[in-house]
Amino acid sequence: MPNATQTPEMADDAMYDVVAEIFRGDINPMVARHGGRVDLVDIQDGTVVVRMMGGCQGCGMATVTLRQGIETALRQALPAIRGIRDITDHGAGTNPYYAAGTQGQSAVG
C-alpha cells in the first residue's frame, strides 16, 4: 500500500488518486480470489464511494469485507479518509460468494 502522510485537509481529487492505486494494487486482487471486484465510484468530502461487483454483489460477507477489510486498509494508508459508503444494489447480485444469511469464514465478499 502507498504510504500516505497527507493531512486531514487533503483534497478529494488527491485522495481519489491514492485510493484508486490501493484498489488496483491491494483491494481488487484480494476480492478477485472470490470472483469479486470493488469499483471506486467517487470521493465526496473525504468519504469513499464504492460499488461491489461479481461475487461481492449480494454476498453475505460484503459488509464485513467493506468495514473490516477495505475501510481499515484505506484508513491505515490514508488517515484523511472520513468513511466509506457502499452504493451497491446487493439484491441484484446473481452469483454471490456467500449467499445472504450464510455463515462464512472468509472476510472477503
Neighbours of 39 (CB within 10 A): 14
pLDDT of 60-73, one tens digit each? 899 999 999 999 99
- pLDDT of 48 reads 97
Could you name the CATH architecture of 12-91? Answer: 2-Layer Sandwich (3.30)
Q: Poorest-confidence range of 6-10, 52-56, 65-69? A: 6-10
Provide the residue type at 41 as one letter.
V
- pLDDT of 96 reads 82
Domain ranges across the chain: 12-91
- pLDDT of 98 reads 82
- pLDDT of 6 reads 45
Residue closest to 46 by CA, chosen among 71, 69, 23, 63 = 71
Distance from CA of residue 77 to its chain's centroid? 13
Sequence-ordered list of residues with C-beta below 8 angstroms from that of 42, at least 6 positions apart, any chain: 16, 49
More confident residue, 51 or 102: 51
Q: What is the DSSP string of 9-21?
A: T--HHHHHHHHHH
